[in-house]
Chain A
Amino acid sequence: MRRALFAAVAILAPVTLFAGVFEATLTLPVRPRFALSEGTHVAIAPFVIVVAAEDRTDRASKVDVQMEFSRYLKKKLDKETKLEIFDASSEKLPTSDTKELAANRDFWKSVAARSGADYVLSGSIDFDVEDKAGYKTEEYTSPVDGRTYYRQVLVESTGFVFDIVFVVFDGDTGEKVAEENFRDFKQFDGRNYDELMGLFENLRSMEKQILSMFISQETTSTRYLFD
C-alpha cells in the first residue's frame, strides 16, 4: 500500500511541476552596430578580393565576386535601410593590401568627394569553392539475409566559404571609423554545385548579420509564464 502511494507521488510529481506553466515566445530587439541617421549618404566602394584570381580554385574564379557582392549590397541597403546608397564600385583601389588601404585617408576622402558620400563602405572578401570527396561508413541491411553490415560509401560535396570584413570610412577625414567581420560556410551534397548559387546561399545566411550593422533586427526567445 505504502509502495503504491510512493509510486503514485513519483508519477504525479512531474505533472505538478509542469501544470500551470506554458512557454511564450518573445520578439526581442537586436541593436544595430552603427547608428547612422536617416538619409546619410553612404558610398559602396570596391572590396579587396583577398585571394588573387590565379590562386583561387578554378571554380571560385568563375564568379565575379566584386560585381555580384556590390550589386547585392546596394540592393539590400537600398531596400532595408533609410540610408542614401551610392555605387562607387567602379573606383580603382590603389593597393590590395588591406592595412595600407585602410591607412590611405586621401583615397577615401577622394572617393567620398566624388560620390558625395558622408561615409564610404569597403573592406575585404574571401570567397572560395571546394569540391570534397571522402569515404563514410554507413549501415546497410542486406535484402538477401536481412543482416546489418557496415559498408564504405563515397560522399561528394561542395563547400562554399565566404569571409567578409566590412570597414566604414569617414568621408570628411578618410579615417577608418568602424570594422566588422562575418564568416559563413555552406556545404551541399554532390560535386559541381553551382558557384553563383553557392555565393548567394552564403549571402542569404549572412543577410541578417550584414543588415544588423545598420538597422535594428529582431530575435525570438522563449520564457515561461505561470497560468
Chain B
Amino acid sequence: MTTIQHAAMLRIGLAGSTARLLAAVTLVAALSGCGTTGSDLKTAEAQIRIGSKAAREGLWREATFRYKRAVQIEPNNAMALSNLGVAYESSGEFEMAREAYLKALQVDRANPYIQKNYSRFSEFYAKFKKREPKVLGAEKETTP
C-alpha cells in the first residue's frame, strides 16, 4: 500500500463520514488505477501512464504536458517521444510532431508502432502541406 493510500485510510478512520469515505475511495481507486505514487511521478513511465490515461479521455493538453515531462525525465525514451508526437499532432503542431517522431525513431528504429505512427503521420502531413489553400483576392475589398 502506498503512502497516499495509507493517508487516505487514516483519514477515513478519523473522520468516519460517508462523504469523506467516498472521496477517499475515489482517490485511492484513481491512484491505484494509475499504479502511481507521489515518488513514482518522477519516472517517465508514470508520466506516460498518466498521459495515456488523459489521452484515452480525450484530454490532449494534459496528455501533451505529461509526455513532455516524460521526455524531460528521459530524453531517450522512444515511447514517450512517440506519444508526444501523437499529442502534438492532435493539437495541430505538425512540425513538432515530426521532430518528436523522428527522435523516437532514432532511439528505437525497429519499433513497429513508432514506424506505423510515423508513416501514417507522414502520409497525412504530405497531403496537408500539398493542399496549401489558393488565396483568392487577398487584395480584393469585399463588396459592401
A168–B83 CA distance with the chains assembled, in angstroms: 42
Task: Assess the B142–A178 pair: CB atoms within 8 A.
Answer: no
Indicate which residue in B52, B120, B142 contacts A22 across the interface (CB closer than 8 Å). B52
**A22-B56, A31-B131, A35-B134 as given contacts; A226 in contact with B124, CB under 8 Å:** no
Task: Assess the A31–B132 pair: CB atoms within 8 A.
Answer: yes
**A24-B56, A227-B48, A227-B52 as given contacts; A222 in contact with B120, CB under 8 Å:** yes
Q: Is A40 an interface residue (CB 8 A)?
A: yes
Task: Assess the A31–B120 pair: CB atoms within 8 A.
Answer: no
Interface window among B4-12, B15-23, B84-92? B84-92
Contact with A along B24-54 (1 / 0, CB 8 A): 0000000000000000000000001100100
Task: Assess the B116–A40 pair: CB atoms within 8 A.
Answer: no
**A31-B133, A178-B136 as given contacts; A225 in contact with B52, CB under 8 Å:** yes
Residues of chain B within 8 A of A26, CB atoms compared:
86, 89-90
Interface window among A3-11, A113-121, A153-161? A113-121
Closest to A36 in B: B136
* B91 CB, min distance to chain A CBs, angstroms: 10
Query: What is the size, in residues, of chain B's interface with A at 8 Å between Cβ atoms?
Result: 32
Q: Which has the most chain A C-beta neighbours within 10 Å: B132, B135, B137?
A: B137
Indicate which residue in A22, A223, A226 contacts B89 across the interface (CB closer than 8 Å). A223
Q: Is A29 an interface residue (CB 8 A)?
A: yes
**A24-B55, A224-B113 as given contacts; A29 in contact with B92, CB under 8 Å:** yes
* A110 CB, min distance to chain B CBs, angstroms: 16
Residues of chain A within 8 A of B82, CB atoms compared:
224-226
Task: Assess the A41–B131 pair: CB atoms within 8 A.
Answer: no
Task: Assess the A119–B83 pair: CB atoms within 8 A.
Answer: no
Closest to B70 in A: A226
Q: Is B117 an interface residue (CB 8 A)?
A: yes
Q: Which has the most chain B C-beta neighbours within 10 Å: A40, A168, A219, A223?
A: A223
A219–B131 CA distance with the chains assembled, in angstroms: 14
Q: Is A39 an interface residue (CB 8 A)?
A: yes
Indicate which residue in B113, B132, B140, B142 contacts A21 across the interface (CB closer than 8 Å). B113
**A26-B89, A227-B49 as given contacts; A168 in contact with B136, CB under 8 Å:** yes
Contact with B along A1-27 (1 / 0, CB 8 A): 000000000000000010001101011
* A99 CB, min distance to chain B CBs, angstroms: 21
For chain A residues 108-132, which have a beta carbon within 8 Å of chain B?
Answer: 116-119
Please give 8 more A-B residue pairs, beta carbons under 8 A apart, in addition to A41-B143, A84-B143, A225-B52. Answer: A22-B56, A30-B128, A35-B133, A35-B134, A37-B137, A118-B143, A119-B136, A224-B114
A-B contacts, 30 of them at CB < 8 A, read A17-B112, A24-B56, A26-B89, A26-B90, A27-B90, A29-B128, A30-B131, A33-B131, A35-B134, A35-B135, A35-B136, A36-B137, A37-B137, A37-B142, A39-B142, A40-B140, A84-B143, A118-B143, A119-B136, A170-B137, A221-B120, A223-B86, A223-B120, A224-B82, A224-B86, A225-B83, A225-B86, A226-B83, A226-B113, A227-B49
